[in-house]
Structure 1
Amino acid sequence: MPFSYVVQKGDTLYRIGRKYALSVPALLAANPQLSEQDYLVPGQVIVIPDRTTNQYVIQAGDTFYYIARRFNIELNDLLAANPGINPRYLRIGQTVVLPPGRGMSIVNTNAPYGYREMMEDLELLKQRYPFLEIVVIGYSVMGKPIPAVKIGGGTRRVHYNGSFHANEWITTLLLMKFIEEYSSAYAAGGRIRGRDAAELYRQTSLWIVPMVNPDGVELVQEGVTPQHPFYRELLQWNEGSYDFSGWKANIRGVDLNDQYPAFWEVEKERREVPGPGPRDYPGTAPLTEPEAIAVAQFTRNNDFRLVIAFHTQGREIYWNYRDLEPPESEGIAERFARVSGYRPVRLTGSDAGYKDWFILEFRRPGFTVEAGQGTNPLPISQFPQIYNDVIGIMLEGLVV
């Protein structure tokens, strides 16, 4: 039977649906006062419908395979739950029953992905793939642990990171899905997109920091309530708006990718942003923010041959910095372009980023990959195409 549910701190429609094996459309149908874009407020009461009435209305372009992937349901379970429907002849407006998902994979790529999902998935991935090494490299302003994941045992060390910018959280999902797919291929003694996973594992130690800016991602996805310690400041910095979907900075309004000691003063003058806000404020000095400090220290403590910072959007690859990059950087960028379809760009007029600092300090290849195309935050519907593009870069980075 349907029952009432009191919204807890950190809840979203996607998280509640995941908890009760319900789709977001089913939750919305039972709660017409809500829209998919609404922030939920702790203490708010919503209706959890009976799972037997969990239904989905066919949209243009739908197939049973797509629906199964979207809601993380086994295709055979979906077929069994709808014996009277011919999957070859689906009609727009037709209703199908969604059985509870048994989980074909750990990382769900069909819904917005936040810090809670990442931490839960890392625990599950570690259980399934004990060869993964997971460490905490530091803590956010709000005290959230920032994890790094190691896969591989080779002498070549490579580093990828994502979600420097809060509303670019889809980059975390890209990296988490890659961890799962790579781990699965290695555990099975198989191949990943045509490459021998065991050989990659033997040659290279890959360290991934999936989410540099957990407080900011949480703000974008969950909004802010009066109980938040930065409630008044955040509303002021966001010009009174409760819509934080455009927020790039950390919880103190500092852009973490403008925090690095690579001509930081030049970048500060160029930005002309007087104080904390949604984007482009570099802070009062380089490396004042704990998230940026954590990544810098982690980088200094490892002998990385190459680093890639994943951002969105633009389908571009930035590979240079003030002519300080090593000679092979342009050639590597061209290889990345061939496997992704992205455009390598010689960037000018930009300083203080993580990639810039890595090149300046270590004189080794560093890259920023601007994944996808559109307006941030990119919709989750773009994930399959973006992942298909950037996985080539992720794999190529292990061998160049």
Structure 2
Amino acid sequence: MQIQVRQGDSFWYYATTFNVPLSLIIDSNPTLSPTTLPIGQAVQIPGYRSTSYQIKAGDTLDKIAASNKIPVDLLHLVNPSTAPTKLQAGQIIQFPTRITAPLVNGNQNYDFQVLTDHLNQLYELYPFIKRNTIGNSVMGKNLVELQIGRGPKLVHWNASFHANEWITTAIMMEFINEYLLSLTNREPIRGRLTNPLYDQVTLSIVPMVDPDGVNLVLNGPPEGDFGELALRINSGNSDFSGWKANIRGVDLNKQYPAKWKLEAARKPKKPSPRDFPGNRPLTEPESIAMAKLAEKRLFEKVLAFHTQGEVIYWGYEGLEPSKAEEIVDEFARESSYEPVRFVDSYTGYKDWFIKEWRRPGYTVELGHGVNPLPLSQFKEIYNKSRGIFLASMYM
């Protein structure tokens, strides 16, 4: 929600009046100096939306504020040209509405368009979110990174490396929305206050690594050359529910130089709905973008969300640091998922991350069953994964 600066206003005053943490207001207005706010300057207030209110006979701003249990100055701030003594029945004024309910509904077929719509709504309500385009998919879709927080500890989450594991994006977006609500409303998640985490941690989030593949699974082949290619790779079958790869049949999570030759020798040798690691490491724009992001950010830890199995893979060749076990034990305690240190599978994003930086990396396998997991599991998966998301910040 946008307001205009008046004589004597300050970010501190807005934080107090709107009951929003000062750091969120400062970060929602990155081009403004907190110490010098020009009169008339537009200021963004996170976690609020302006709605219309029709004046009734006998209304005053004081009465409206009292009946809604808000400071009257909130009404003055969103109605700067309204004289409080001249309200008339039928007149429309703006009312500042605090957002207390989530807007993201992850419990649906979560394709790239749904993601984009939800992200745009979150950007509008929570302008302290930083957004970056880290690259593009094969078909040119933006690969989006969100950054939330201002702390020195950099934690990375990603989802939908595999196309038919798109439910991971839906789960992640629901938690992001819960976290944003928690921050702006100063409400705990699982008994833990999150505002200190905002100051301690910077989250880097890529909610959909393989947007072309996700759309292929959910919506079928697109028109044109890429759709025709996908149909050929899929042996002419129009059912893409078993498709894990990107649009040209490369498994993005088998693209990383961590025992790549070993994995390639036992996997398909040509584009395939799943498991083809490419002709060499890092050939696909999606996997390249994710590698460059890690190299640029130098994350403290990485969590890659996949399905299925309710396990958390956390080791690679014994190169993971000792703290990695302590962290995964906390993830297990929060979720009831089983920690698994070693598995005979390589070339994944977390494998490469551990190999390159000797820092904690995790592949979190959400849910049980056959991919794509049904939405009937959504609530159960979400309840079990919330603690993992949260613990990744405080551990």
Residue identity matched to 2:176: I
Number of residue pairs matched by the alignment: 296
Matched, 1:199 2:216: no
TM-score, with structure 1 as normaliser:
0.73
- 1:159-190 deviation digits (Å, cap 9, x = unpaired): 00000000000000111111110001101122
2:392 maps to amino acid = G
Aligned residue number for residue 304 of structure 2: 309
- What is the DSSP-based 3-state SS (H/G/I as helix, E as strand, rest coil) of the residue aligned with 2:270? coil
Structure 2 distance, partners of 1:320, 1:356, is 8
Structure 1 regions of 5+ residues with no counterpart?
1-102
Aligned AA (2:251): D
Match of 2:236 among 231, 234, 240: 240
SS in 2 for 1:148: strand
Q: Of the candidates 250, 271, 275, which is equivalent to residue 280 of structure 1?
A: 275
Partner SS for 1:279: coil
Aligned residue among 199, 202, 208 for 2:205: 208
Contact 2:106–2:173 at 8 Å: present in 1 too? no
Shift of 1:346: 2.0
Percent identical pairs in the alignment equals 52
In 2, Cα distance between equivalents of 1:348 and 1:377: 22
Q: Deviation of residue 110 (structure 1)?
A: 2.7
| Contact 1:339-1:392 at 8 Å conserved across structures | yes
In structure 1, C-alpha distance between the alignment counterparts of 2:379 and 2:342, rounded to whole Å:
28
2: CA distance, partners of 1:189 / 1:110: 25
User: Which residue is equivalent to 2:226?
Assistant: 230
2:250 corresponds to 1:254: yes
Contact residue 248 and residue 271 of structure 2 kept, 8 A: yes
The separation in 2 between residues aligned to 1:263 and 1:220, in whole angstroms, is 29
What displacement does 1:360 show?
0.2
Could you tell me how far 1:191 is from its partner in structure 2? 1.2
Between the aligned partners of 1:274 and 1:210, the Cα distance in structure 2 is 29
Structure 2 equivalent of residue 364 of structure 1: 359
**1: CA distance, partners of 2:250 / 2:208:** 16
Cα distance in 2 for residues equivalent to 1:191 and 1:122:
23
Deviation string, structure 1 residues 76-132 (Cα, Å, up to 9, x no partner):
xxxxxxxxxxxxxxxxxxxxxxxxxxx953211231111001111111001111111
**Is the aligned partner of 1:131 residue 2:142?**
no
CA RMSD, Structure 1 to Structure 2 (Å): 1.2
Give yes or no for the alignment of 1:145 onto 2:142.
yes
2:291 is matched with 296
Match of 1:173 in 2: 170
Following superposition of structure 1 onto structure 2, how do residues 1-400 of structure 1 map, counting pairs within 5 Å?
A: 105-225=102-222, 227-271=223-267, 273-400=268-395
Q: Which runs of 5+ in 2 are unaligned?
A: 1-99
The two structures have a TM-score, normalised by structure 2, of 0.73
1:36-57, Cα deviation, whole Å (9 max, x unpaired): xxxxxxxxxxxxxxxxxxxxxx
Q: 1:228 to 1:194 in 2, by over 3 A?
A: farther
CA contact (8 A) 2:102 2:181 kept: no
Q: Which moved more, 1:317-326 or 1:190-199?
A: 190-199
Query: Which structure's CA Rg is the greater one?
Result: 2
Structure 1 moving runs of 4+ over 4 Å: none
Q: Contact 1:175 / 1:208 at 8 angstroms: preserved in 2? A: no
